[in-house]
Amino acid sequence: MSSGNLTSPQQSELFRWNNALEPEAYAHATYQIVAHCDPLAAATAMAMEQSASTVAIAGYVSPEQVEDWTIRVVSVEQGNQTTTSDISCYGLATEVYPKHTRITPCTVTLAIPKLLLNRSYVQWLNVLVGELPRLGFLSAFRLTHVTGLNDWGPNPAFGIAGIRKTLGIQKGPILCRSMRPAVGLDTTTMVRLNEAVLRGGFHLVKDDELMVFESDSAFEQHVKAMVDCRDRIQNECQERKGYLATLICDPEELERRWEICCEQGVDGVLIAPFIQGIGTLAQMAARKTLPILAHNTGAETLTRHPHWGMAEAVWNTLIRHAGADWLVTSGGFGECSPPTPEEQVTLSAMQSPTSSPDSMPILQGGKCPEGLERYTHCVGNDDYMLIVASWVDGHPQGLETAARIFRESLGRLA
């Protein structure tokens, strides 16, 4: 952990915003924190910890060398609300750590040099989050807003319009079944499950995120079987069907499995940016070859706690810019009508402020035909995908009939 050496007021100014600085050279990040010290001291320490920190070492380092690289405190606004947390606090014998004075909830906005971010998503997380949650004088920490990403890419290569074109679906919600149970089934049984739900009217099926393959050869056999199933039912029903394959795998497996997906003609792939790295998502999206579903596995570790981590909208903004064609909404999304303010902000994060495509939201978790009007109201339109398994799997009339009932409900929605 950095120590910092602020030996003069002039050096402290290296971490304060001033009007002589060029606004276009900085991105901005806003945090909700609870500081167990003076709020300005906490904000300055956050800026130090995530940028130059040490600004003077006799004979080696001078403030002039690092002034373009320091994070600047733009504002600190104290709140009146009481925020409770069971996060324990501690102090270290470094100058980054202010003296413990009082407990204060506040909003901190920092200006981040774009030089420091280097247009890298890995570096973005490293700087805007990094070791900040480790700072012992913070008992609440939540990154709530960011600016400065609008000119980043690769952005979705397909987005809503491209997904609809790929799947041949002009309008209405898209119905998808995740392949469950994800483990323990032989390929023949999984094919039968897919045939039933696709024949009943679902638009596509996707691999479950928990599927595991002992080799690239086993993965290829699985993908080929699912593509053959898709094509067979497509010819039978005279309707375009889709299949999304999982690329949630180890780094050394990724390239060959991507090649298999392209060779076999899948309709899209799953990437899990939280566990595989957001740079992996950006790397694959930049190829503009297949639509990418950015799976949410692990991401709620960052987003779910109201006082610790990152707002869901911030995470969605980040991975949309990194190239996600589909984005997963929170588990409870669609249950409230109208949507909550937080859900509205989350949806806005899936929409591009520029000319790049919008990401398509995915709703999942116990969704049923009776909820279609509510889901559409929450999204604000019918440009969304439903991942449904439980409702059709447990239907007393069987999987194929249940899929047909769900599909017919879409027609009534229109």
Rounded mean pLDDT, 369-379:
94
112 and 177 both lie in a single domain: no
Q: How far apart are alpha carbons 20 and 228 in whole angstroms?
A: 63
Predicted confidence (pLDDT) per residue in 232-247, tens digit: 999 999 999 999 999 9
pLDDT of residue 88: 76
Residues 34 and 131 placed together within one structural domain of the fold: yes
- Comparing 276-290, 331-345, 369-383, 385-399, which segment has the lowest mean pLDDT? 331-345
Q: Which residues 6+ apart lie within 8 Å of 125 measured at CB?
A: 278, 318
Asked whether residue 152 is domain-assigned, the answer is no
Residue 44 sits in the same domain as residue 108: yes
Looking at residue 183, its amino acid is V
Q: How far apart are CA 207 and CA 246, in angstroms?
A: 6
pLDDT at 112: 98
CB neighbour burial string for 75-84, b if at least 16 within 10 angstroms, e if fewer:
ebeeeeeebe
Tell me, yes or no, whether 153 lies in a domain. no
Grade residue 8 by pLDDT with cuts at 50, 70 and 90.
low
Residues 324 and 242 occupy one common structural domain: yes
CA distances for 376 relative to 166, 202, 225, 336, 371, angstroms: 22, 18, 34, 11, 9
Considering the domain architecture, whether residues 142 and 180 belong to the same structural domain is answered as no
Q: Mean per-residue pLDDT for 377-391?
A: 95
Question: Residues 174, 93: one domain?
Answer: no
**Residue 100 and residue 184 in one domain:** no
Q: pLDDT confidence of 401, banded at 50, 70, 90?
A: very high
- Output the pLDDT for position 394: 94
- At residue 244, the pLDDT reads 98
What whole-number distance in Å separates Cα of residue 39 and Cα of residue 205?
Answer: 51
Residue 374: inside a domain: yes
Distance CA 236, CA 348 (A): 39
Poorest-pLDDT segment among 129-143, 330-344, 395-409:
330-344
116 domain-assigned: yes
Q: What is the pLDDT of residues 198-240, one digit of tens each?
A: 999 999 999 999 999 999 999 999 999 999 999 999 999 999 9
236 and 369 share one domain: yes
404 and 292 within one domain:
yes
- pLDDT of residue 340 exceeding 70, the answer is yes
Bridge-based pairing of strands 26-35 and 104-113 is antiparallel
Confidence class of residue 2 from pLDDT cuts 50, 70 and 90?
Answer: very low
Query: Does residue 94 sit within a domain?
Result: yes
pLDDT of residue 84: 61
**Torsion angles phi and psi, residue 9, rounded to 5:** -60, -35
Last residue of a domain, one of 90, 119, 147: 147
Same domain assignment for residues 114 and 227: no
- Indicate if 221 and 251 belong to the same structural domain: yes
Asked which of 147, 181, 216 is the last residue of a domain, the reply is 147
pLDDT score, position 1: 37
**DSSP class of residue 234?**
H
Q: Is residue 2 part of a domain?
A: no
User: pLDDT tens digits for 140-182?
Assistant: 999 999 999 888 999 999 999 999 999 999 999 999 999 999 9
Nearest to 148 by CA among 309, 22, 32: 22
Give the pLDDT score at 99: 67
d(CA 170, CA 192): 27
Last residue of a domain, one of 123, 147, 171: 147
Question: Whole-model pTM?
Answer: 0.93
Strand order across the 138-147 sheet: 72-78, 104-113, 26-35, 138-147, 308-310
- With beta carbons less than 8 A apart as the criterion, state whether 214 and 250 touch: no
CA distances from 197 to 194, 201, 333, 401, 412 (A): 5, 7, 24, 8, 19
Q: How many domains in the chain?
A: 2
Q: Which CATH number do you get for residue 20? A: 3.30.70.150
Enclosing domain of residue 26: 9-147
DSSP, collapsed to helix, strand or coil, labels residue 229 as helix
Beta bridge partners of 34: 105, 140
Type of residue at 151: D
Instruction: Report CA dihedral (396, 178, 337, 383) to the nearest 10 degrees.
Output: -120
- Domain match, 238 and 357 both: yes
179 lies in some domain: yes
Give φ, ψ of 178 to 5 degrees.
-80, 140
Please give the pLDDT value at position 86: 72
User: What's the CATH code of the domain at 260?
Assistant: 3.20.20.110
Residue 3 lies in a domain: no
Q: At a CB cut-off of 8 Å and minimum separation 6, what does 40 contact?
A: 73, 76
Determine the Cα–Cα distance for residues 21 and 18; give it in Å rounded to an integer.
6
- Single-letter amino acid, residue 25: A
pLDDT one-digit tens code per residue, 39-93: 999 999 999 999 987 888 888 988 888 899 999 999 999 986 666 667 877 777 6
